[in-house]
């Protein structure tokens, strides 16, 4: 029963009560405030009729403040409760509600559907953030529910054709009344004060991408990865979906956007809280609570997805004006023991999985090292402006491993690189796995390492050569690798510093040349290796690091010479 306690009161308290009711709290909220503060009500009798109106106004205003606070009290706990409840329910696969004009369209037609800037969500708010949406279409055939959290409560954002330009597409708008949105974009004037730029995209399964100032989209992230590159999995990899979002409307002074997501799939559910802080490098804080509803052999936490086609460590076997074509060119890991690792990426001929056992990792990510435009020479796709993504775990994640998956691809349209953390301990059904982390979307990769740790600037792969007495270079069937190390502290070292290279290779190769020399061009050192592979059908694992008087100066270069390397074929 809804009882209005405002009946018979002066007009202003009635107006305040109506505002309270609009928050879906109703006049019962005022009753609750009064009931919880019965001592105050008793005091009202003592103040007399003269101050009664003022008292009512104060109490009613207080009730509105309480209402606003409670409306904003939506939290990760609410989404976690939903995720926990889903675990005991049978999985229901989302059904498509698209008419053929949208479900059968090709990519070019889907790209004609663009958000209208004059109808961005929050366009009439003082916040610099704005929201726009992705239309359903193509393979984005099921809607996701999107809600807005405001001081007056939580409301679903309903589909509206007026939010989009459709180009020359023709359809009956009345038939779209039951559609929803496929995802959303967060807009912010990150490059110019008078221009709204897209800084985050959330679209498809649990995928999302973020950029900072001057950056363009490159690699992607996911909420969760299940049984990735596990050939023994009966049903292959599972791609959990974000099925519902709750987005907080930012206040005028807010420098961040907060939103929540509910994840669901046949074998997992999850609750997520995201805090996006745009800047030179945008930062995304993630809190994840994951529940398992079925057996999973491999769980990927904080997964990253990228593309590597070719680069100096794996030259293209086709003629190209580019020296490199990739969104990322290496996996970096900061182990719990403090070691830094760098693993250059490959585009293999066959599926390749590499694992690095790490307890309580301090960080890992897929990086795009090398920002010189001359490296890529691509004016259209600007790979030099694509960000790296660095995962910084919060708290102790325990024992586990960082896994790198490299998948063959013939062109740059396919993401073929995946990296994630997989815990050693199997989750208990009904108990949440708790993983909190910060994501740095950056083009300043050097800032990730301390000044006293040199990093691998580049890895060059070549046919092994020996300079003969007549100065003619002879190719002897070996394989050559040149690795350049640089860093702020290393640049200050005298050229005659007693720096040496600790190199190790697997049993499938022998080292013919291990030469370290000063590289004055970069103020660092160049390591030249020449190795002979014993069985070209088997890979060769290699590691190298620079040391001085027993002190490690650099990250560890970890490299796999695969059987399908260009120089080995």
Domains with residue ranges and CATH for the chain:
11-71 (no CATH), 76-448 (2.70.98.10), 455-568 (2.60.40.10)
The angle at the Cα of 225, spanning 223 to 226, to the nearest 5 degrees, equals 140
Q: Does the pLDDT at position 27 exceed 80?
A: no
At residue 138, the 3 state secondary structure works out as: coil
- Quick one: the chain helix, strand, coil %, rounded to 5? 20, 40, 40
Q: How far apart are CA 411 and CA 559, in angstroms?
A: 23
Residues with Cβ within 8 Å of 206's Cβ and at least 6 positions away in sequence, in order, are 222, 223, 224, 239, 240, 241, 242, 261, 263
Angle between helices 38-47 and 52-71 (to 10 degrees): 160
The angle at the Cα of 76, spanning 274 to 207, to the nearest 5 degrees, equals 35
Best CA proximity match to 68, nearest among 23, 16, 126: 23
End-to-end, the C-alpha distance of the chain in Å comes to 80
Q: How far apart are CA 251 and CA 155, in angstroms?
A: 17
Q: Kindly report, residue by residue over 247-266, the tens digit of the pLDDT.
A: 999 999 999 999 999 999 99
Q: How far apart are CA 95 and CA 274, in angstroms?
A: 27
Residue 140 per-residue DSSP state: B
Q: Kindly report, residue by residue over 366-398, the tens digit of the pLDDT.
A: 999 999 999 999 999 999 999 999 999 999 999
Q: How far apart are CA 364 and CA 300, in angstroms?
A: 13
What is the mean predicted confidence (pLDDT) over 299-320? 95
Asked if 506 and 530 touch (Cβ cutoff 8 Å), the reply is no
pLDDT band of 82, cuts 50, 70, 90: very high
State the pLDDT at residue 567: 60
Q: Kindly report, residue by residue over 479-492, the tens digit of the pLDDT.
A: 999 999 999 999 99
State the pLDDT at residue 79: 98
From the centroid of its chain, how far is CA 283?
10
Q: How far apart are CA 520 and CA 522, in angstroms?
A: 5
Report the range of poorest mean pLDDT among 34-48, 197-211, 280-294, 376-390. Answer: 34-48
Element (H, E) at 418: strand 417-423
Longest Cα pair distance anywhere in the chain, in angstroms?
113
Can you list the positions of beta strands (E) in 1-135?
114-115, 130-135
pLDDT band of 409, cuts 50, 70, 90: very high
Q: Does the pLDDT at position 30 exceed 60?
A: no
Give the global pTM. 0.85
Q: Does the pLDDT at position 13 exceed 70?
A: no
At residue 145, the 3 state secondary structure works out as: strand
DSSP, residue by residue, 506-548: -TTEEEEEEEEEEETTTTEEEEEEEEEES-TTS-EEEEEEEEE
Based on the number of CB atoms within 10 Å of its own CB, is 517 exposed (0-12), middle (13-18) or buried (19 or more)? exposed
Better pLDDT: 33 or 413: 413
Report the range of poorest mean pLDDT among 32-41, 475-484, 508-517. Answer: 32-41
pLDDT band of 182, cuts 50, 70, 90: very high
The mean predicted confidence, pLDDT, of the chain is: 87
Q: How far apart are CA 305 and CA 245, in angstroms?
A: 22
What is the mean predicted confidence (pLDDT) over 172-182? 88
Count of helix runs (H) and strand runs (E) in the chain:
9, 33
State the pLDDT at residue 428: 83
Q: How far apart are CA 264 and CA 271, in angstroms?
A: 9
């Amino acid at each position: 029963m809804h009882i209005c306690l405002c009946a018979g009161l002066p007009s202003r308290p009635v107006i305040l009560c109506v505002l309270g009711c609009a928050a879906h709290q109703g006049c019962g909220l005022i009753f609750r405030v009064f009931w919880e503060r019965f001592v105050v009500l008793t005091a009202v009798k003592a103040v007399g009729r003269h101050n009664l109106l003022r008292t009512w106004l104060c109490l009613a205003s207080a009730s509105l403040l309480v209402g606003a606070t409670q409306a904003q009290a939506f939290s990760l706990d609410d989404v976690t409760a939903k995720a926990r409840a889903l675990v005991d329910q049978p999985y229901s696969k989302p059904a498509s509600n698209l008419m053929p004009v949208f479900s059968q369209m090709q990519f070019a037609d889907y790209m004609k559907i663009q958000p209208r800037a004059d109808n961005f969500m929050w366009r009439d708010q003082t916040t610099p953030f704005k929201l726009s949406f992705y239309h359903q279409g193509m393979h984005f055939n099921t809607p996701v529910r999107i809600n807005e959290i405001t001081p007056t409560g939580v409301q679903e954002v309903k589909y509206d054709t007026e939010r989009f330009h459709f180009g020359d597409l023709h359809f009956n708008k009345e038939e779209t009344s039951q559609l929803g949105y496929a995802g959303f974009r967060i807009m912010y004037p990150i490059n110019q004060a008078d221009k709204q730029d897209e800084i985050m995209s959330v679209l498809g399964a649990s995928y999302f991408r973020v950029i900072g100032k001057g950056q363009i989209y490159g690699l992607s992230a996911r909420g969760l990865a299940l049984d990735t590159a596990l050939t023994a999995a009966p049903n292959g990899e599972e791609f959990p979906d974000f099925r519902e979002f709750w987005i907080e409307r930012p206040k005028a002074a807010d420098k961040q956007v907060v939103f929540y997501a509910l994840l669901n799939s046949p074998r997992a559910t999850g609750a997520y809280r995201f805090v996006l802080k745009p800047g030179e490098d945008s930062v995304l804080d993630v809190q994840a609570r994951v529940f398992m509803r079925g057996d999973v052999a491999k769980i990927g936490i904080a997964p990253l997805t990228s593309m590597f086609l070719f680069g100096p460590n794996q030259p293209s076997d086709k003629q190209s004006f580019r020296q490199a074509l990739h969104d990322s060119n290496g996996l970096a890991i900061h182990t719990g023991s403090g070691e830094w690792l760098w693993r250059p990426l490959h585009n293999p001929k066959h599926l390749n999985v590499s694992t690095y056992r790490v307890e309580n990792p301090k960080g890992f990510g897929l990086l795009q090292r090398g920002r010189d435009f001359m490296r890529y020479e691509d004016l259209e796709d600007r790979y030099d402006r694509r960000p790296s993504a660095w995962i910084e775990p919060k708290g102790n994640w325990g024992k586990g491993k960082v896994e790198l998956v490299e998948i063959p691809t013939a062109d740059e349209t396919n993401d073929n690189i995946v990296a994630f953390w997989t815990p050693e301990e199997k989750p208990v059904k009904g108990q949440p796995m708790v993983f909190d982390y910060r994501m740095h979307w950056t083009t300043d990769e050097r800032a990730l390492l301390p000044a006293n740790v040199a990093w691998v600037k580049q890895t060059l792969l070549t046919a092994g050569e020996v300079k003969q007495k007549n100065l003619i270079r002879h190719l002897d069937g070996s394989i050559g690798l040149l690795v350049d190390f640089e860093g702020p502290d290393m640049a200050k070292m005298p050229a005659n510093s007693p720096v040496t290279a600790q190199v190790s290779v697997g049993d499938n190769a022998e080292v013919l040349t291990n030469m370290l020399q000063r590289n004055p061009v970069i103020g660092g050192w160049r390591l030249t290796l020449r190795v002979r592979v014993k069985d070209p059908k088997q890979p060769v694992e290699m590691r190298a690091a620079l040391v001085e008087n027993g002190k490690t100066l650099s990250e560890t270069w970890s490299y796999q010479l695969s059987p399908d390397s260009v120089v080995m074929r």
